[in-house]
Amino acid sequence: MKKIIAAAFAMTLALAAFAPHAAAAGGKKGGNAVLVPASDMKWSDVPGFAGLQMAVLDGNPAKGPHHSMIKFVGGFAAPLHHHSSDHYGTVVAGTLVLTVDGQDKKLPAGSYFSFKGKKKHMTRCEAGAECILSMDVRGKWDVVPEDTKPAAKK
């Protein structure tokens, strides 16, 4: 459990390093528009999470609201966790499997999901193809692991 917490903390700190990539990604900001061609997205590995990459498109995940792309290798799995900020996602590629309230839901490309109020869930990318998500996050991004050990009997 300590490793998971340390990894989540490392991810949060690492996200601060990703924010400069949005401006450097080749995206053009002009007035009220941000245009970032897929070929200009700068993908960065997320430390402590093998098989996970992020491309920040707008905003700063370490400080507040942002838009980003998240890429998982096929077979990637994250244990039960939640995020402090409400977030909304669209599956761009692959098949994402979200486990909510003990139920698996397969979401192929074109599917939508949202998590509000620190909703606990597990995330998995089906083997065979990478999963790419487009994320709209309404606050600072974090990954808060849930303690999955049963409570000690008294």
CATH number for 124: 2.60.120.10
What's 102's DSSP letter? T
Measured at the CA of 122, the angle between CA 117 and CA 126, to 5 degrees, comes to 135
Look at residue 72 and tell me if it is in a domain: yes
**Residue 152 included in any domain:** no
pLDDT given at position 93: 98
5-57 per-position pLDDT tens digit: 434 434 443 444 444 444 444 455 567 888 999 999 999 998 888 899 999 99
Look at residue 82 and tell me whether its pLDDT is greater than 90.
Answer: yes
Find the domain containing 93 and state its range: 2-145
- Tell me the mean pLDDT in the region 126-136: 97
Residue 34 lies in a domain: yes
- Count structural domains, the chain: 1
How high does pLDDT run on average in the chain? 83
- One-letter amino acid identity for 14? A
> Does residue 9 belong to any structural domain of this protein?
yes
**pLDDT computed for residue 49 by the predictor:** 83
Most confident among 20-24, 80-84, 105-109 (mean pLDDT): 105-109
pLDDT of residue 106: 98
> Could you report the per-residue pLDDT of 138-151, keeping only the tens digit for each?
999 898 999 866 65
d(CA 3, CA 5): 5
d(CA 108, CA 94): 6
User: Which amino acid does the sequence have at 78?
Assistant: A
Q: Is residue 151 part of a domain?
A: no
- SS3 state at 112: strand
For residue 77, is it within any domain? yes
Question: Which of the pair, 29 or 112, is modelled with greater confidence?
Answer: 112
Return the H-helix or E-strand segment holding 45. Answer: strand 44-45
- Would 107 be classed as within a structural domain? yes
Full-model pTM? 0.78
Query: Could you tell me if residue 59 is inside a domain?
Result: yes
For residue 8, what is the DSSP state? H
